[in-house]
Structure 1
Amino acid sequence: MRLLSKTYWHGTQIRFRDPVEDVTGISVALDAADGTRLRGVYWTSDNNPRPKVAVIAAHPRGDFSEHHAFPAFLKAGYACMGANMRNVNNDSDCQHEKLVVDIAAYMQWLKENGVEKIILLGNSGGGSLFSFYQSQAKAAPDDRIKFTPGGRPTGLNKMALIPGDAIIYMAAHTGQGLIINEVIDPSVVDEHDPLKTNPEFDMYDPENGFKPAPEWVKYSPEFIEKFRKAQLARVQRLDAVAHDWINLSKDAAKIHGSEGFEDLPAEIQRRVMEREAFEPVMVIYRTMANLHYADNTLDPSPRPYGSLISPRPDLMNFQRFGFARVMTPHGWLSTWSGLSSNASIPKTGPSITEPAVVIQAGKDLDVFPETHSKLTFNTIQSADKEYWDIPEALHYFEPDEGDNGNETLNRVMERLVAWVRERFPI
């Protein structure tokens, strides 16, 4: 049984899709302010080897070193930085406050290498990431977030954060945590036994209106309301589990650092230090339950049935592969909890006043027009902002069935390069 969609995030779509001649890509290795080693790729056109304007693309876990938007920018003479984060290909301990530190290192490197204007390309999860960065970069140091949702100091008040000069939201959702709020299965009864289900909250139960995929469903308003409340209740329970694990270690650390610890019996000392050192992981099952996957009346768009990951979300919901499957407590709270994460457009969007364009891919299976793109557009405070709806586009702007090559991507990029050139001429 094939459940994984061929278009899902497996790296094959995040690459140059057209041949690009006369460009140079150099590997950039640099240290973030906390000492973490980062590696990206800096691309320039041989016809403009010292550009004054650069586009930077980043994602919390994806490898954007060869982003498919870069060739069009390079042909136009702009530099492109594929800025990989510390959590590339594995976000189990991804803490967005640390990613702010990573972006800051790339921004500093670009400035030191002659770039005067930097455009933030926020594709998919990069949109909420860059909005979070920009909100922190523009805030006075003392007003920056001082602690992660898990209680760790961020040190952002002591760092040099260079704001970007414009931001592009390209098929960007409003935040990874808000995605989880939409996709987490509220019918899970026991986090340790993911097959136990409460049918009252099961969107895939025919008693609640579900029909065999790929037949579209129309859920009742009553079911929708209780389903969404139950989703948030499950996220809240997982938040409580995360805080309990974190507090267990904190309490042990207090005992370890207290007077008289050395007088305790050796066995107790050992147990306390084990609890302090213990790093648990949370396994979050069944995160493939978005009502939008089966009911296209909730946020209408030209999208087909199913999710970005699978055309059979009802079954993919039980697979190992999925959003936020294995997380540390700190990673869960900072990145995937829609109740705790700081990296969400509703929180950070009001800080965005720079030129901005929001691009909705009409056939996107996980980023929807009202839920994500229009909410982003209406939340950001840019006086110069545009909303583009591309009805024929998929999430990665890859060729759809019947397309001729990269026509959709090329049309979008021609328009986007013109938008950038109007504001930031070479």
Structure 2
Amino acid sequence: MTNKKKAYERIPYLIFYQDKSPFKETYGGPMDFGALKSHLLRPAEPKTNSVIVFMHPVGGGEYLPMITALASAGYPVIYCQSRYPGNDTALIMEKVVIDLGNCIRHAKEKLGFDKVILAGWSGGGSLSMFYQSQAENPTITETPAGDSVDLTIQGLIPADGIMMLAAHISRTHTLTEWIDASILDEQDPSQRDPELDIYNPQNPNQPPYSAAFLERYRAAQIARNRKITAWVKEKLANLKSSGRPNDEFAFVVHGTMADPRWLDPTIDANDRQPRWCYLGDPEVVNNGPVGLARFCTLRSWLSQWSYDDSNADGLVCAKTITAPALVIGNSADDACTPSHTTRIFEAIGHNNKEMHEIKGATHYYFGQEQQLKEAIGLCADWLARKALL
């Protein structure tokens, strides 16, 4: 048996932080303290002392093909969980920015890396743009719910470059594009507008959908998001006026995977499989337990999902960032479709940017060695040309 040297070493570690809060929104641990579970993938023969940092609002990607392939190719990688691993029920995007700031500071000051490249994968894309915009020009001092979360005093360190990889434009816009426009009663999701119920076989509107139907459907999606937001604000105001300003309220959002593009592949067309999404059959996911925003709280809704209130709108944030940017889309992506890739690229407010598409690649590159190799090659070439190594 030969002793083959490993391409990289995986080093799990914790980043401890202090962040005072009037109430706990994460499970367990002492008040005002937390720990970010992180993985450093250190190549056996590193090509650089720069590090590529990944963070997704709810994490779970430290073993994804892209992360391990970058490390195998000689690039140090950190995958850092936010304080909300695997559960976005009470997630506050402004606090995730603080978490990402802690990770980047630790990477530079404790681990000794010279440069940091933010890699925004999927939902990490808008987080990365939100972080970078606030690191370059901090302005936010409170959440959309009016709670104090001051990003201007965090000393956020800007990344030296940003890679948007199979990324969507924001959690709020993604939810709004996916939410079931037919639901009329939030307490009773069986009450539906039959002409907007895309999963109703009796609906006269069937794919390929007409432009008029899509316009009506998209408007109804935005209206439903705003209807939930109005209820959230009223509920929160009542709690605060009752003399208990830190009280919360949990609720369920039904029907959150009813985007017509999953049934009509001519909408935002790419090579994805019809009647499918990255979580499986969209009709099942629509009311399943893993749908976006399925379980939520008042403050979290406003921070993550509100169409008009969330600060983490990637397109708005992208306008102000100055770091060089690489945008990569996958032609068979069944989560982040082409318009998201294009909108991100067009929103970045400078010309030191480039966009590429990998033909046939799915969202995760599972079982796609050739497409994954192409993606790593694009990243490697860009890092070298932009002097980020």
TM-score after normalising by structure 2: 0.90
Matching of residues 120-135 of structure 1 within 5 Å = 120-135=118-133
Task: Answer yes or no: is 1:392 the counterpart of 2:360.
Answer: yes
C-alpha distance 303-52 of structure 1, shift in aligned 2 (>3 A): same
1:86 alignment partner, one of 46, 67, 83: 83
Pairwise CA distance, 1:363: 0.9
Pairwise CA distance, 1:96: 0.6
Deviation digits for residues 154-186 of structure 1 (CA, Å, limit 9, x no counterpart)? 121111100001111111000011011101111
**CA distance in 2 between partners of 1:421 and 1:240 (Å):** 48
Q: Contact between 1:208 and 1:219, CA under 8 Å: does it hold in 2?
A: no
**CA distance in 2 between partners of 1:151 and 1:425 (Å):** 38
Task: Answer yes or no: is 1:176 the counterpart of 2:171.
Answer: yes
Pairwise CA distance, 1:329: 0.8
**2:261 alignment partner, SS class:** helix
Deviation digits for residues 335-366 of structure 1 (CA, Å, limit 9, x no counterpart)? 12232211122210112222211111111122
For 1:47, the equivalent position in structure 2 comes to 45
Matching of residues 158-307 of structure 1 within 5 Å = 158-206=153-201, 208-211=203-206, 217-253=207-243, 278-307=247-276
For 2:309, the equivalent position in structure 1 comes to 340
**Higher radius of gyration, 1 or 2:** 1
Task: Answer yes or no: is 1:27 the counterpart of 2:25.
Answer: no
C-alpha distance 138-394 of structure 1, shift in aligned 2 (>3 A): same
For 1:153, the equivalent position in structure 2 comes to 148
Q: Contact between 2:333 and 2:362, CA under 8 Å: does it hold in 1?
A: yes
Structure 2 unpaired stretches of 5+:
20-32
Pairwise CA distance, 1:77: 3.3
Deviation digits for residues 60-98 of structure 1 (CA, Å, limit 9, x no counterpart)? 112233342233433443321111111111010111100
Q: Contact between 1:181 and 1:235, CA under 8 Å: does it hold in 2?
A: yes
Corresponding residue pairs, total: 372
2:114 alignment partner, one of 86, 91, 116: 116
C-alpha distance 115-294 of structure 1, shift in aligned 2 (>3 A): same
C-alpha distance 277-292 of structure 1, shift in aligned 2 (>3 A): same
**CA distance in 1 between partners of 2:64 and 2:161 (Å):** 18
TM-score after normalising by structure 1: 0.82
Match of 1:222, as an amino acid?
A: A
**CA distance in 1 between partners of 2:357 and 2:52 (Å):** 22
**CA distance in 1 between partners of 2:5 and 2:335 (Å):** 30
Q: Which has the higher helix share?
A: 1
**CA distance in 1 between partners of 2:130 and 2:166 (Å):** 17
Pairwise CA distance, 1:310: 4.8
For 2:371, the equivalent position in structure 1 comes to 408
Q: Contact between 2:195 and 2:205, CA under 8 Å: does it hold in 1?
A: no
Matching of residues 64-79 of structure 1 within 5 Å = 64-79=61-76
Deviation digits for residues 28-66 of structure 1 (CA, Å, limit 9, x no counterpart)? 2123351332110112123349x5200001101122333
For 2:28, the equivalent position in structure 1 comes to none
Q: Contact between 2:183 and 2:193, CA under 8 Å: does it hold in 1?
A: yes
For 1:424, the equivalent position in structure 2 comes to 387
Q: Contact between 1:20 and 1:71, CA under 8 Å: does it hold in 2?
A: no
Pairwise CA distance, 1:138: 0.4
**1:292 alignment partner, SS class:** helix
Q: Percent identity?
A: 32
Pairwise CA distance, 1:315: 4.0
